Amino acid sequence: MARGFVSGVTAGAIIGAAVGLMILPELDKDTKKMIKRNGRMMLDVAGGVYNTVRKMRS
């Protein structure tokens, strides 16, 4: 069950990033910087969650 959740979160992050990149050219510089910074933070959090779940399962 946790494996499906992690796969779903990963797929959602990838899809969200792709959509974000498609609308990114229409935004101003400050907004682009904020989106990129928040995206990196979200990937770090997702990686931490993934590692935690993986450790719990082993």
Task: Select from 53, 55, 27, 2 the least CA-distant residue to 38.
Answer: 27
Give whichever of 2-6, 7-11, 43-47 has the largest mean pLDDT. Answer: 43-47
What whole-number distance in Å separates Cα of residue 7 and Cα of residue 31?
Answer: 29
Average pLDDT over residues 6-17: 83
Which of 8, 9, 2, 5 is CA-nearest to residue 42? 9
Q: Are 13 and 46 in contact (CB under 8 A)?
A: yes
Boundaries of domain holding 6: 2-57
Helix (H, G, I), strand (E, B) or coil at 37: helix
Total count of domains within the chain: 1
Q: Could you give the percent of the chain with pLDDT greater than 70?
A: 91
